[in-house]
Chains A and B, each alone.
Chain A
Amino acid sequence: MIINGVTIDETFAEAFPMRGTRVIITAQNLEWAMNSAQAFTGFATSVIACGCEAGIERTLEPHETPDGRPGVACLIFAMGGKGLAKQVETRAGQCVLTSPTSALFSGLPMDQEEKEIPLGKNLRFFGDGYQISKMIDGKRYWRIPVMDGEFLAEETTGIRASVGGGNFLILAESQPQALAACEAAIREMRKLPNVIMPFPGGVVRSGSKVGSKYKALNASTNDAFCPTLKGQTKTELSPEVESVMEIVIDGLTEDDINKAMRTGIQAACELGAENGIRRISAGNYGGKLGPFHFHLQEIMA
């Protein structure tokens, strides 16, 4: 399969089940909502060392938020419900509670099959007895007195069985060309709901393989896709490929990832062979580890 001179490999991205939730952070203005959201989703590129993967989904107009102020929707994913709860709680406590004028709301209603996780439920103890609970429309909110006034947080947020680790690789003739294609892909993918690309700017340059020659490490550089090792290892790269970059996608459903991959690959392919984009591939572990397989050629069909 070739789109605009770009070869789409006959391979698939292998993804894993995760648990995810959406939170809405509002503030006096978008700038301060964003300050809080960036801290909340900071250091959350990969579950390997961050404990979760998180990102900003989109900004919200005042009429879209529960309290009628500008806001930011964040998605956060972890390997299990407990891990997710811990990450949400510590991040909300250190990055939202602390942020001036902020308020924190659930962005996902409760799912009958899944338990809810705490949002303001435990943060309330920061109020040292002065916290006030309010039931509004069947939802409990906590009013926690803080130095700039009151921090308002919804008690819990719903979680969903989600999909993490959807990905594709862009193989290009040069580093600037690979990055340009990634930027184009990310620009389009950020317009889609229910997905985040957790790496810095949405792009990761250090894709990994499972295992390492060093016993202490369980993942190491994906040498088959390292252009400098073309003559040194069993390479996946043809002579003209000089740089490879990856886009990783976490989404609330399999379908959301499908759409995001299609949109991203489409945008990269639009630059085409004339801009040095040669191939689109994907990362997998032979299909043994993750139950979700995203076949590139099926997605682009």
Chain B
Amino acid sequence: MSELILTLKSAPAQRVDCSPLTVDKLEGKNIKDIAALTLVVGNQKLRVDELFDIDGDDPAVMRFENATDKLDHIGHGMTTGTITVNGNAGAYLGQFMMGGEIIVNGNTGIYTACEMKKGFIKVNGNAGDFVGAARIGYKNGMTGGTVVISGNTGARTGDHMRRGMILIEGNAGDYCGSRMVSGTIAVLGQVGAHLGYAMKRGTLLLQQPPKNGISANFNDCGSHTLAFLPLMFASFKKLDSKFAKLEPFSRVQRYAGDLSGIGMGEILVKI
């Protein structure tokens, strides 16, 4: 068994639904079966071998080469295995993911880790809007697992997020932690406007004070030494991320909100 490598032949003009290409769905299939699978591309169906050169046969260790931002739904609902994406990935990377690991060496589109349940996603690049969010009209975003973004994220990071962790080494866009139900988002860089908009519960952990300030819907609870922070930093140590090398701190300024709602969320800013 050797790593299954899917090399994109040429950049598709239409979006490609890559959700059939996970170890769960390819288990037991040989290279011929995989080649004969059809993927929805725009308004038509194409065989996998029309889009990709296929090499190797172990779907548990899969790699996309020459990937572009048209490849949607990579790692859809996967429960185990590793997917490496060299190049950009499209929308809904790791949607409904229940285990395993996805590494993207490039940027991802919108809805990265959408409604993810468990597992690990690392994006060595930027992610689009709605990281770890719920689909439109749905109430529950990410419910577990860890997402690490080495670059920046778009708007509404963690929208409706319920559990799990989103760690952003760069900057987060506007409305970071909007409508968040619980979970943790940590940002090493800056955050955009409207931080924690309509946030219910959960934690936004900031390494630096937000340049747009804290919204009027969050009240200052003062400076504190919080005992859970050292535990959390210790859990970062095993990650391949700047977070692993972060100097642990437990002194934070605590702001509670969003007080237009139940106001049980918190923004913690390092002091």
Interface residues, chain A, CB within 8 Å of chain B? 66-68, 103, 129-130, 132-137, 141, 143, 149-150, 152
Contacts and interface: CB of A to CB of B under 8 A. Distances in A.
B226 interface: yes
B30 to A, nearest CB: 36
A134 B232 contact: yes
Contact of B228 (A129, A130, A134): A134
B28 interface: no
A132 B224 CA distance: 15
B228 A143 contact: yes
Contact of A135 (B164, B226, B227, B264): B164
Contact of B226 (A130, A133, A136, A143): A143
Given A134-B228, A149-B224, A149-B225, 12 more contacts: A67-B230, A68-B230, A132-B201, A132-B264, A134-B232, A136-B232, A136-B235, A141-B228, A149-B227, A150-B224, A150-B226, A152-B227
Contact of A134 (B203, B225, B264): B203
Contact of A150 (B201, B203, B227, B235): B227
Contacts of B234: 66, 68
A137 B235 contact: yes
B144 A103 contact: no
Interface of B: 144, 163-164, 182, 184, 201, 203, 224-228, 230-232, 234-235, 264, 266
Nearest to B184: A134
19 contacts: A67-B230, A68-B234, A103-B227, A129-B264, A130-B264, A132-B201, A134-B232, A135-B144, A136-B232, A143-B226, A149-B224, A149-B225, A149-B227, A150-B226, A150-B227, A150-B228, A152-B227, A152-B228, A152-B231
Contacts of B226: 143, 149-150
Nearest to B224: A149
Given A143-B226, A149-B225, A135 B163 contact: yes
A135 B117 CA distance: 13
Nearest to B266: A132
Contacts of B227: 67, 103, 143, 149-150, 152
Contacts of A133: 182
Contacts of B184: 134
Contacts of A152: 227-228, 231
Nearest to A26: B227
B251 to A, nearest CB: 12
Contacts of B144: 135
B200 to A, nearest CB: 12
User: What are the nearest 6 A-B pairs in CB distance?
Assistant: A152-B227, A137-B235, A136-B235, A136-B231, A103-B227, A68-B230
Contact of B231 (A67, A129, A149): A67
Q: Which of A66, A135, A152 has the most CB of B within 10 A?
A: A135
Contacts of B164: 135
A285 B225 CA distance: 54
A96 to B, nearest CB: 13
Nearest to A143: B228
Contacts of A141: 228, 231
Contacts of B235: 136-137
Contacts of B201: 132
Q: Which of B201, B225, B228, B232 has the most CB of A within 10 A?
A: B228
Contacts of B224: 149-150
A136 B230 CA distance: 11
A68 B235 CA distance: 13
Contacts of A103: 227
B231 A66 contact: yes
Contacts of A129: 264
Contacts of A134: 184, 203, 228, 232
Nearest to B118: A138
